Amino acid sequence: MHIGLIGGIGPAATVAYYQGLVGAFGQADVPLQLTIQHADITTLTGNADRMDSDAQTEVFAAHIKSLKGAGCDIIGITALTGHFCMPLLQAVSQLPILSATDAIDTYCAQQGIARLGLLSSPPVLQSRLFGLLHEVETVVPGEDPEGVGRTYMEIATKGACTTDQANLLIAAGAEMMRAQQADAILLAGTDLGLVFDGGDPGYPAIDAVRLHVDAFVEAAADKPNRVLLNTSAWASPDTEYF
């Protein structure tokens, strides 16, 4: 199976996807064939802020056409913000799209997660991930959600984060666990590995990139009904949190 990724949205997330796919496919002993098409993060964020699904669908459809020409069989979008136009995009896409939100829904249903806190961009927080999750209730930071979203976008755009930015996002997750009784926090921004990778924030954090990567492994291995549970941003391959 030849995977096509629409990347660049942002660059750090694209690197995380590449490293994750190489590692996960190697661990599963499944051959990896991969092509990445670069998309513009400022175009995506502008269209997402305006919720202009038509404009972003046109952009993604052009990338998918190129990936089809490169021989790809299936597509992934390396930004959850980019999923805001998913229903329209799926209707016109020349290739099947493996949605990250479907992988998240499957995992939450399997693990009995009833309430999920979100850390991500302003459009994702405002829309509760665009209403694309159906198996779990979602909550967002109660204290300055706009500031949390802006901080994430600064990190995603620059591909780096400061200690203060990391502390703000980690604290926002803790607030949702404490005040809103979330069962876990979804790293619903694919650049959040820059904040959470390599450390324990003190609560269960589900890495959306890892879930999406594992779903690609399952699809390539022809086991579409099971999502692997190695989902923590800092977990060893044998760690399961739920």
Q: Quote the CA–CA distance of 236 and 79 in Å, as a whole number.
A: 24
Could you tell me which CATH class the domain 101-207 is placed in? alpha beta
The answer to whether the 2-99+209-220 and 101-207 domains have the same CATH topology is: yes
Q: Quote the CA–CA distance of 167 and 171 in Å, as a whole number.
A: 6
Please report, rounded to a whole number, the percentage of residues in the chain having pLDDT higher than 90. Answer: 87
pLDDT in tens, 50-96: 999 999 999 999 999 999 999 999 999 999 999 999 999 999 999 99
Average pLDDT over residues 93-100: 98
Work out the pLDDT band at 192, boundaries 50, 70, 90. very high
Please give the C-alpha separations between residue 237 and each of 15, 193, 204, 214, 241, in angstroms, as whole numbers.
19, 16, 16, 12, 12
pLDDT in tens, 119-137: 999 999 999 999 999 999 9
Can you give the residue ranges of every domain in the chain? 2-99+209-220, 101-207
The predicted model scores a pTM of 0.87
Q: State yes or no: cis peptide before 82, omega within 30 of 0.
A: no
What is the fold of 2-99+209-220?
A: Rossmann fold (3.40.50)
- What angle (nearest 5°) sits at the alpha carbon of residue 236, between those of residues 233 and 237? 105
